Structure 1
Amino acid sequence: MFTLSRLMVVATAVALLAGCASPNPYSNQDQAGGDSGGMSKTAKYGGLGALAGAVAGAAIDHNNRGKGALIGAAVVGAGAAGYGYYADKQEAALRKSMANTGVEVQRQGDQIKLIMPGNITFATDSSGIAPSFYSPLNSLAGSLKQFNQNIIEIVGYTDSTGARQHNMDLSQQRAQSVATYLTSQGVDPSHLAVQGLGPDSPIASNADVNGRAQNRRVEVNLKPIPGQQYQQQ
């Protein structure tokens, strides 16, 4: 009979197998600004997913909790590891293509975020794409066509200067400009979502020039598609 402690041991073992079943070519890279604990993101996603799956599996199969835990761990862990491996590869490709462009690439859990600062994106009070922005957008479009299994959220932001409604409209128009250009370069429009948040969610103080410049930005958030089966490539 499986006790809770034994279920945890089984889940952990399956988690490690789910996370390490296939070699991850990026496991030795610090891809998320300090995430260097010796375990790849694939193993982390697979491990956490397998542990959650084990608990769920044990709860479902009351007559044979050990069997339920193993099935739940294997199924959920493998799915999570599949996305972790996919995201690892996508993140590495984006970091390479965005190097020296002014675009910052961040990894936040299962999400990849690209922060595009105002000094390269749009002229003041304009939603027309600046000449310096075309090169990063072309690189992004190429990457999104290669790694095409994401929801792509494009969010525009402004600083707090001026009327709020004007800033909300301007940020929406800028996000739409990015989406329209990416679509023109062959990115699947069905994966795109656009939003303008104006001065909301600032990343720096609006009390000084440098802070306001940081807040004028476009963010592109790459997320997994719900229900998508991510195969290791």
Structure 2
Amino acid sequence: MRAISASLLMAATASFALTACVTDPVTGERRVNQAVYTGALGAGVGAGLGAILGGKSNRTEVLVGTGIGAVAGSAVGVYLENQKKKMEEATQGTGIEVTNTGDSLLLNIPSQVTFSSGSYTITPEFRPTLDKVAGVLTEYDRSFVDVYGHTDSDGSDAFNQRLSEQRAESVANYLVQDGVLRQRIATRGFGETQPVASNDTASGKAQNRRVEIKVVPVTEEPAA
């Protein structure tokens, strides 16, 4: 694993202390996530740093450090297709779309089934579905999980950016509480910058208010 300077180690360790604290998506309460804290200690400081610093290469090191192996290149297609079937079963009738892009799965989650307007608190109706999604992610654990938040164009750019980040973080925290390894997960908010429909209509805005979960298998990489 790459050498890390003392100053970076201190900064990343401080960041990890924040990472180990999660916001309950239901109550909004901040608390220490014992599973994250204990798991990171077991995997070692280096593994924790990899997750904090981000990037596919670093996250690969993290997962190797936790004992999770990679998917051989020739097996990725079967791995994704089997996981897609499980995800479709878990989300049937919810309005969630599951797409196999060839090298990843993409779950498109409309905001009306996850959050109230202007809120990042997960609705009670969506929790059972998210529990099932977490179950599939735990079963198929040789993958990265990226959670993306998006909004429509209503409101200021700054408000929408922060709201998209908060929604992605809420879903990520919920998945962690459901047992998905924190080191696998990254979040990002895109605000209103990536619409999939026109913001000139109510139906278009509804499509743009969404959360996406991208699942990318950890694949074997050639040595540097």
Taking structure 2 as the reference length, what is the TM-score of the superposition? Answer: 0.65
Q: Look up the equivalent residue of 1:219 and give its one-letter code.
A: E
Return the match for 2:83 from 86, 90, 102.
90
CA apart distance, 1:142: 0.5
CA apart distance, 1:206: 0.3
The alignment status of 1:107 with 2:107, answered yes or no, reads: no
Name the counterpart of 1:131.
124
CA apart distance, 1:227: 2.4
Equivalent residues of 1:172, 1:195 under 8 A apart:
yes
1:48-197, aligned counterparts within 5 Å?
79-197=72-190
Alpha-carbon RMSD across the aligned residues, in angstroms, is: 1.6
Q: Secondary structure at the match of 1:102?
A: coil
Q: Look up the equivalent residue of 1:166 and give its one-letter code.
A: F
Partners of 1:86 and 1:104 in 2: CA distance: 18
The structure that has the greater radius of gyration is: 1
Return the match for 2:205 from 212, 217, 223.
212
CA apart distance, 1:134: 0.6
Equivalent residues of 1:94, 1:140 under 8 A apart:
yes
Figure out how many residues of one structure are paired with residues of the other and give that number: 152
Equivalent residues of 1:150, 1:223 under 8 A apart:
yes
Q: Secondary structure at the match of 2:126?
A: helix
Q: Unpaired segments of 5 or more residues in structure 2?
A: 1-70
Query: What's the CA shift string for 1:158-216, capped at 9, x where partnerless?
Result: 00111001100000000000000000010000000000001011111000000000100
Name the counterpart of 1:52.
none
Equivalent residues of 2:148, 2:190 under 8 A apart:
yes
Q: Unpaired segments of 5 or more residues in structure 1?
A: 1-77, 229-233
Q: Look up the equivalent residue of 1:150 and give its one-letter code.
A: S
Q: Look up the equivalent residue of 1:139 and give its one-letter code.
A: K
Equivalent residues of 1:116, 1:217 under 8 A apart:
yes
Q: Look up the equivalent residue of 1:179 and give its one-letter code.
A: A
CA apart distance, 1:80: 2.5
Q: Higher relative CO (CA 8 A, sep ≥ 6), structure 1 or 2?
A: 2
Equivalent residues of 2:73, 2:219 under 8 A apart:
no
CA apart distance, 1:81: 2.0
Equivalent residues of 1:151, 1:191 under 8 A apart:
yes
Partners of 1:107 and 1:151 in 2: CA distance: 15
Q: Look up the equivalent residue of 1:213 and give its one-letter code.
A: A
Q: Look up the equivalent residue of 2:209 and give its one-letter code.
A: R
Query: What's the CA shift string for 1:19-69, capped at 9, x where partnerless?
Result: xxxxxxxxxxxxxxxxxxxxxxxxxxxxxxxxxxxxxxxxxxxxxxxxxxx
Q: Secondary structure at the match of 1:131?
A: coil
Residues 208 and 118 (structure 1), Cα distance of their counterparts in 2 relative to 1, 3 Å cut:
same
**Paired-residue identity, %:** 36
Equivalent residues of 1:103, 1:136 under 8 A apart:
no
Name the counterpart of 2:6.
none
